[in-house]
Amino acid sequence: MKKSQILVLILGVSMIAVLYSLPRIVVDNEEGNTEITDDKTSSRDSGVEIHDSPMDAGDRSILKELLTDLETEDDKGKVSKLSDEIASLYIKAGKFDSAAYIFDLVAVKLETSESWEKAGAAYYEAYTFALDQEKVSLLAEKTRTYLGKVLEKDPKRLDLKTKMAMTYVSSANPMQGITMLREVLEEDPTNEDGLFNMGVLSMQSGQYKRAGERFEELVKHHPNNVEGQFYLGVSYFESKQNNKAKQQFELVESMSKDPMVLASVESYLERL
């Protein structure tokens, strides 16, 4: 979830949009049990929908022409290129669901693994930014439909499996997502997305010690994962390991130039 796949609200800093709207699941307790608590409170209940973002007048004019071309084009190669150009304009304007819809139309027309993956990835991106719960469910279902098609042909795509897993975690069947993430880590114990997402879910359920273990494993094998380094610091902070937290946040300061990350790090350091 990188990237944005995954923005989290900590001290008002958005780094993984879905985190605190997920069901509260005990994913990794020492007894190996799993508990689910229904928590309907969601950060998606407020704010403006992403797709309502304004679009530059010049881009809107270009978009209109490209959409006309896409409607009349039959050459598959040109259709794919046009969809990329159209989607990039939508993404530039923050209209992630519109970009996904374009890739969806093309996937129906082309019926190729590449077109399915583009549509699934775009729907996942839109899913991570969606605010309305009904839209979240729809985008998650679309993500699973298209990425599932790719996985049927190539079951080794663990990167796609982790995306599908995270859409299940926020659904009516969250344990299916947890099971999928565990399967990813059984097949690849150092998988970057698998470790990151399991750490995030442990944090969300208040299992900060276990989250710290997940993030320690993550940064051991993927030291340049800034989000993982940051959440390791948060896990230390929340589990009262203040010395480790201080050292970790100072490390993140040396790694990142992102003003939002640095502002959040500074806030934590002030509280230590």
Q: Give backbone dihedrals phi and psi of 35, rounded to 5 degrees, phi first.
A: -125, 145
Tokens describing residue 176: 């299916």
Judged against a pLDDT cut of 80, whether residue 37 lies above it is answered with no
Q: How far apart are CA 92 and CA 87, in angstroms?
A: 8
User: Where in the sequence is the domain holding 35, given as residue range(s)?
Assistant: 3-206
pLDDT on residue 25: 56
Query: Does 47 fall in a domain?
Result: yes
Judged against a pLDDT cut of 90, whether residue 30 lies above it is answered with no
Beta bridge partners of 14: 9
* Percentage, residues of the chain above pLDDT 70: 81
H or E element at residue 10: strand 9-10
pLDDT on residue 40: 36
| Cβ contacts of 10-17, under 8 Å, gap ≥ 24 | 10/234, 10/264, 11/264, 11/267, 11/268, 13/260, 13/261, 13/263, 13/264, 14/260, 15/227, 15/230, 15/260, 15/261, 15/264, 16/128, 16/200, 16/227, 17/43, 17/128, 17/129, 17/130
Judged against a pLDDT cut of 60, whether residue 31 lies above it is answered with no
Fill in the DSSP letter of residue 14: E
Judged against a pLDDT cut of 60, whether residue 94 lies above it is answered with yes
pLDDT on residue 56: 84
pLDDT on residue 29: 60
H or E element at residue 9: strand 9-10
Helix axes 259-271, 226-238, angle to 10 degrees: 20
Task: Give residue-wise pLDDT tens across range 106-134.
Answer: 999 999 999 999 999 999 999 998 888 89
Judged against a pLDDT cut of 70, whether residue 208 lies above it is answered with yes
The torsion of the CA quartet 226, 227, 229, 233, rounded to 10 degrees, works out to: 140
Tokens describing residue 131: 């605010």
Query: Does 22 fall in a domain?
Result: yes
Query: Does 265 fall in a domain?
Result: no
Q: How far apart are CA 67 and CA 83, in angstroms?
A: 9
Q: Which amino acid is at 51?
A: H
User: How many domains does the chain contain in total?
Assistant: 1
Query: Does 259 fall in a domain?
Result: no
Q: What is the pTM of this model?
A: 0.79
Judged against a pLDDT cut of 90, whether residue 220 lies above it is answered with yes
Nearest to 177 by CA among 192, 193, 190: 193
Query: Does 79 fall in a domain?
Result: yes
Read off the pLDDT band of 12 (50, 70, 90).
Answer: very low
Give the CATH number of the domain where residue 68 resides: 1.25.40.10
Judged against a pLDDT cut of 60, whether residue 13 lies above it is answered with no
Q: How far apart are CA 146 and CA 11, in angstroms?
A: 35
H or E element at residue 13: strand 13-14
Query: Does 37 fall in a domain?
Result: yes
Judged against a pLDDT cut of 90, whether residue 150 lies above it is answered with yes
Q: How far apart are CA 265 and CA 262, in angstroms?
A: 5
pLDDT on residue 53: 57
Distant-in-sequence, close-in-space partners of 155: CB < 8 Å, separation ≥ 6:
none
Query: Does 261 fall in a domain?
Result: no
Q: Give backbone dihedrals phi and psi of 36, rounded to 5 degrees, phi first.
A: -125, 130
Fill in the DSSP letter of residue 60: H
Query: Does 181 fall in a domain?
Result: yes
Averaged pLDDT of the chain: 84
